[in-house]
Structure 1
Amino acid sequence: MLYYLHLYSAHLGILNVFKYITFRAMGAAITALVFSWLLGKPMIRLLKRLKAGQPIRGKEVVRDLAALHETKSGTPTMGGLLILFAVTFSCLLWVIPQNKFFWLTLLSMLFMGAVGFLDDFRKVVQKKHYGIPGKVKLIAQGLVGAIVGVVLFSDPETCKHAQRLTIPFLKELNAIDIGWLAIPFFILVVMGSSNAVNLTDGLDGLAAGCSIGVAFVYAVFSYVSGRADMSSYLLIPYVKGVGELTIFCSALIGACMGFLWYNCYPAAVFMGDTGSLAIGSALGVVSIIIGQELLLVIAGGIFVIEALSVILQVASYKLTGKRIFAMAPLHHHFELKGWSETAVTVRFWILSLLFGLLALSSLKIR
């Protein structure tokens, strides 16, 4: 919306800055951050009135962990609504409204946010222990991946690009044509990213803090991918119009920072599946649109490690009857080994930053 102010720059020269993605990206981040700050306390009060308090589960399974988290019982969840509102409001102000990539990403995030909200609502308000079935979540995630694939394949400008799998760090063989296999691959990307962020959301500030770094990496790649000169020089796939996702990613950064203000230890609110499923889905969709799906494994290294720890734990127990970790996901393992919650969170943030820097280095190492 504010983009169109540059049309009046002939009357007031400074309005020309609204034409530039970099300026609007900074504006989107600040807007989302301030919006989160302002809306945070009223939303927390509303969630408390709705008695949307997080129950502490697993007391019979892992008593030591339940004891560590006992003080969190009753802390309101579904705080992911704060992130969704902040990102949506900020983007509607700063993004070019006709950009299809923005709408595809935003609607995907809101759809998975709605699925997560339903899951949280059933668990914390209706007191149904397991929320909605896991199969329903997987179907919803698969639907998002399939729709993104169909939209990209239906446009001649993006069809060829969507069929090519970009491999980071390689110069000669930096892309492989996978054809229509791209659509099931997109489904796996959305499922993987959405569930990985969801599994990471177990400690105060952990998922939100790690999401900031990943969103920043994709803000940079979206900007480069949307510029023909930069993408050609850096051997990155060029996608016309995808630069607007820089603004979306920046709004997500600001929203997560604002949410972290209330979610840092000791958390006044949790994001719940409402936030984690939505953020993971959004990051997956952005990676698909700009053709940097494999980069998500590097940039989101913490999310990948957390998900792998669960997979390995389950596989080991089913095959051998023994557990590899004291508990999965991995952050709970370190808690049970004596690390404080803040130590686990900050150290995982540091690792997330390192993974982000490694992902950014792929711009030149190829």
Structure 2
Amino acid sequence: MQVYQYIVIIALAVMASSVFTSIEIPILKHRQFQQFIREEGPKSHKKKEGTPTMGGIAIYASICLVSMIGTSLTRDMGILLIFGALYGLIGFADDFIKVTQKHNLGLRAWQKLLFQIVLGVGFGYYVVKYTNLGTNVWVPFIDKDVDFGMWFIPFVAFVIVAVANSVNLADGLDGLCAGVTAIFAFGFALIADGFSAFPSGVYCLAIVGSCIGFMFFNKFPAQVFMGDTGSMALGGGLAAAVILTKAELMIPFVGLVFVVEALSVIIQVIGFKTTGKRLFRMAPIHHHFELGGMKETSVVKMFWVFAAICCVAGLLIMKI
């Protein structure tokens, strides 16, 4: 893609997301779709209770609109849009239960995981059966395609579930998830361009602009949260887009922020169960810094910078 195409797609997505979010906020307030803060979370977050949630609907509506404007609706693009929407529906169900039951517990963990795995397996089957990618995965450093054979579909399911839940974990501070996701998506838009995966590139750029547009309302102090509706749609859709580039193994490099967020939770749980002690003040790790005395806005900016560094590092690895 040409530079002007990047600018046009991102700009359209910023405008669409801004408009859709501004329209959605009053509707969410009228419907009383409000965030309920978990009791075990940071006490300072209690003041955020009552903030409208499920803003991810506006984000994904923008992504769909701009993706269809940015390219012809090919089969791959259609599947990407549908897949992201299906993951968003998992998040929507979780959010809807929370707001209607007026607590912070939605779907059970096993229910979410089951739906995520089933969709992941289905997407893996689509890649094998209906694309020319086969069961190959591009391996960085050696710059070769490796055939994963019978392990490809389980691998795809694992990647999608891991990315979606990692993005979801990053949705804990105002502007954090949207900002980090925009940076991650921009990195993979460039990678998709390098692999001539045009639908994935356009889809990722639509995510970049949609997240930026949403941040006008989600930055501190947030007027609206994306909710699991947004984080699941973004994570699932992004993972699917990356898989269509064959560059899944670049995710740990470009998306190191998400890896760190997920690992902090895993380490915290394992450490507490085995030793009775917590390594971090609170997990995910962004709360660790927050409880250490850093301002919420400072933590968010630090993570944005780290995400940008990881993105550049990932692109340099691609060059190598």
Normalized against structure 2, the TM-score is what? 0.96
Give % identity. Answer: 36
Unaligned ranges ≥5, structure 2 = none
Write out per-residue CA displacement over residues 229-275 of structure 1, whole angstroms, 9 at most, x where no aligned residue: xxxxxxxxxxxxx2122111111111000001100001000011001
Query: Are 1:285 and 2:237 matched, yes or no?
Result: no
Select which of 217, 220, 223 maps to 1:265: 220
| Partner Cα distance (1:189, 1:338) in 2 | 34
How far off its partner does 1:287 sit? 1.6
Query: Are 1:190 and 2:160 matched, yes or no?
Result: yes
| Partner Cα distance (1:155, 1:114) in 2 | 24
CA RMSD across the alignment:
1.5
How far off its partner does 1:289 sit? 1.1
How far off its partner does 1:292 sit? 0.8
* Paired residue secondary structure (1:158): coil
**Aligned match of 2:306:** 351
Query: Are 1:322 and 2:277 matched, yes or no?
Result: yes
Unaligned ranges ≥5, structure 1 = 1-19, 227-241
**Aligned match of 2:265:** 310
How far off its partner does 1:144 sit? 2.3
Query: Are 1:181 and 2:156 matched, yes or no?
Result: no
Larger radius of gyration: 1
1:30-69 equivalent positions in 2, closer than 5 A: 30-58=11-39, 61=40, 65-66=42-43, 68-69=44-45
Q: Specify the code of the residue in structure 1 equivalent to 2:70.
A: W
Q: Specify the code of the residue in structure 1 equivalent to 2:136.
A: R
* Paired residue secondary structure (1:268): coil
| Partner Cα distance (1:317, 1:358) in 2 | 33
| Partner Cα distance (2:106, 2:231) in 1 | 15
Query: Are 1:126 and 2:101 matched, yes or no?
Result: yes
Query: Are 1:216 and 2:180 matched, yes or no?
Result: no
Q: Specify the code of the residue in structure 2 equivalent to 1:117.
A: F
* Paired residue secondary structure (2:248): coil
| Partner Cα distance (2:10, 2:34) in 1 | 29
Aligned length: 320
| Partner Cα distance (1:268, 1:319) in 2 | 40
**Aligned match of 2:137:** 165
- Structure 1 contact 25–251 (Cα < 8 Å) conserved: no
- Following superposition, which runs of at least 4 residues in structure 1 exceed 3 angstroms of deviation? 20-26
How far off its partner does 1:126 sit? 3.0
How far off its partner does 1:302 sit? 0.7
Write out per-residue CA displacement over residues 37-60 of structure 1, whole angstroms, 9 at most, x where no aligned residue: 2222221111011111111221xx
